Amino acid sequence: MKTKFASVVGGALAFMFVAGVSAQEATGKTDWREQYAYTLGVQAYIFGFPYVYLPSLRADWVTRPKAANDITPYAPINHFSHVRTLADASYRGGGSPNQDTLYSTAWLDVGKEPVILSHPDMGDRYFSFELAGIDSDNFAYVGKRTTGGKAGSFAIVGPGWKGALPAGVKPLPASLTPSVLIFARTLIDGPTDAKTVNALQDQYTLIPLSLWGKEDAVLPASRDVWKPFDPKTDPLAEWRTMNRAMTENPPEARLAKLVELFAKVGVGPRQDLDKMDEATKLGLARAAVDGRQLIKAAIDSGQLGRQVNNWNIPPRTLGRAGLVDDFLLRASIQAMGGIISNELEETVYYNTTKDGAGQAFDGAKKYILRFAPGQLPKVNAFWSLTMYDPTFNFTDNPLNRYSLGDRSKGLKKDADGGLTLYIQRNSPGKDNESNWLPSTQSGAFFLILRTYMPGPEIVEQKWAPPPVTELVR
């Protein structure tokens, strides 16, 4: 019996053979080696995109100092970078910031030895440490859902590491790559809660195993990471970056056949592009451009997940897409769209740019989002609805309100027990102002509904948000 993976690879080979040979025979203008490198290269680019994108972020976050008002991470290897305050409408860096949690971010090197992550007693506060490899696939979580709120220490180990851990240090599933990215999220209950959250963040530690228990030890603060090759000066730059990243962080052994296939055009661990013929190089240069465009088009289409009531529902395997060989999902929504993405058991994000009738949102119009009685998101932590302008930033408004949710003070239920939220540029009146989410003054906007520690109905995709309805009066 053919495995799913074998069928996918076999189908890809058949497609690429037909596309490569027929194009050359039909036109007589393209060297078959260029066409073969192009068709195979597009598939290789989709597979390897995280190995291009994440190393570029690592270099930026580790080596490039940031301005005081820039919330982009900046810290040495094996150190946290913390966001200390919630963003508001004055922040214009994009990225769809949330109003629920403060981020703590770290790049780790666990190639030589484990790094021990510790956090204090978090009480009943929501928090999570999402751990992923440089391939963007998650491999472990620490947090309220998975390990509980009591103080703890956890060993982050690299591929193939064997050894003894100190007493009281709990092992986590091993990373599949020596380079590890941590996204930590800590619940903040509004700006006045920042001081408390910052104190918790200051107690998050990352200590190499060899320094564990040594009170006077000085933690290394290395910023020694290589910078990706520059596509402005080299059309093969992204392939060179990919090859180097894969050499240091080899794909799983189970993917050996696929890795061998891509090596035929000089892509993969220990591959030297300079040894390839000029036709192959031309094909790869084209493939990098078209591969990136294909990934973006897949995101923009909204077709990788499901749509219900014009809300985009994330695919079930998001967060670990590469582990089930869904490399397009990994490259697109998971990596290009999110760098790394939470699994549905941790959070489910729904987003929409349209009302229930399929019309694009317009800030000049009025809308409502009504949850019928018993149909609010069933979560074990909390949920929130956040407004963004087309630049992925908050919209300025007189209330400085950018989201509403089950933690919002003063939300009023309908007489029947349902909940109606008003989405418009002007106040819906004092009686409804507690339920008002201010929109853009005109033109497009989009909404994200975040559910943290969602219940089974959400995780299993048996529940979806109701449609946003235009209010015509």
* Per-residue model confidence as pLDDT tens digits over 123-154: 999 999 999 999 999 999 999 999 999 999 99
**Same domain flag for 458 and 318:** yes
**Same domain flag for 340 and 462:** yes
**Same domain flag for 202 and 320:** no
Distances (CA, A) of 54 to 27, 50, 161, 330, 368: 38, 6, 23, 12, 39
Q: How are the residues of the chain apportioned to helix, strand and coil, as percentages rounded to the nearest 5?
A: 30, 20, 50
pLDDT at residue 95, rounded to an integer: 87
**Same domain flag for 204 and 332:** no
**Phi-psi bin for 68: left (phi > 0), alpha (psi -120 to 50), beta?**
alpha
Residue 396, domain member (yes or no): yes
Q: Hunting for tokens 């403060």 — which residue is that?
A: 102
**Same domain flag for 330 and 444:** yes
Which of 417, 436, 425, 316 minimizes the C-alpha distance to 373? 417
Residue 62's φ and ψ, nearest 5 degrees, are -95, -35
**Same domain flag for 205 and 318:** no
Residue 33, domain member (yes or no): no
pLDDT digits (tens, 9 = 90+) for 319-341: 999 999 999 999 999 999 999 99
Q: Are 89 and 397 in contact (CB under 8 A)?
A: yes
pLDDT at residue 14, rounded to an integer: 40
Residue 375, domain member (yes or no): yes
Residues 6+ apart with CB under 8 A from 54: 134, 135, 136, 179, 181, 245, 335, 339
pLDDT at residue 15, rounded to an integer: 38
pLDDT at residue 188, rounded to an integer: 98
Helix runs in 28-151, H state only: 32-63
Asked if residue 87 has pLDDT above 80, the reply is yes
**Same domain flag for 325 and 463:** yes
**Same domain flag for 97 and 205:** yes
Residue 166, domain member (yes or no): yes
pLDDT digits (tens, 9 = 90+) for 338-392: 999 999 999 999 999 999 999 999 999 999 999 999 999 999 999 999 999 999 9
**Same domain flag for 461 and 355:** yes
**Same domain flag for 193 and 319:** no
Dist CA 258 CA 251 (whole Å): 10
Residue 336, domain member (yes or no): yes
Which of 156, 187, 211 marks a domain boundary?
211
Q: Are 74 and 81 in contact (CB under 8 A)?
A: yes
Asked if residue 9 has pLDDT above 80, the reply is no
Residue 183, domain member (yes or no): yes
pLDDT at residue 363, rounded to an integer: 98
Asked if residue 157 has pLDDT above 90, the reply is yes
Largest interatomic CA distance in the chain: 73
Q: Are 61 and 81 in contact (CB under 8 A)?
A: yes
Which of 211, 226, 247 marks a domain boundary?
211
Q: Tell me, what CATH number does 383's domain have?
A: 2.60.120.600
Tell me the pLDDT of the chain averaged across its residues. Answer: 93
Which of 183, 211, 239 marks a domain boundary?
211
**Same domain flag for 311 and 435:** yes
pLDDT at residue 472, rounded to an integer: 87
Residue 70, domain member (yes or no): no
Give percent above pLDDT 90 in the chain.
89
Give percent above pLDDT 70 in the chain.
94
Which of 189, 228, 135, 180 minimizes the C-alpha distance to 405? 189
Report the number of distinct structural domains present in the chain.
Answer: 2
- In the chain, DSSP finds a helix count (H) and a strand count (E) of 8, 19
Instruction: Quote the pTM value.
Output: 0.91
The residue range of the domain holding 443 is: 307-470
Asked if residue 23 has pLDDT above 80, the reply is no
pLDDT band with cut points at 50, 70 and 90 for residue 28:
low
> Within 10 Å of residue 135's Cβ, how many Cβ atoms?
29
pLDDT band with cut points at 50, 70 and 90 for residue 3:
very low
Give the pairing of strands 436-438 and 419-424. parallel
Asked if residue 26 has pLDDT above 50, the reply is no
The one-letter amino acid code at 399 reads L
**Same domain flag for 312 and 184:** no
Residue 405, domain member (yes or no): yes
Q: Tell me, what CATH number does 83's domain have?
A: 2.60.40.1610
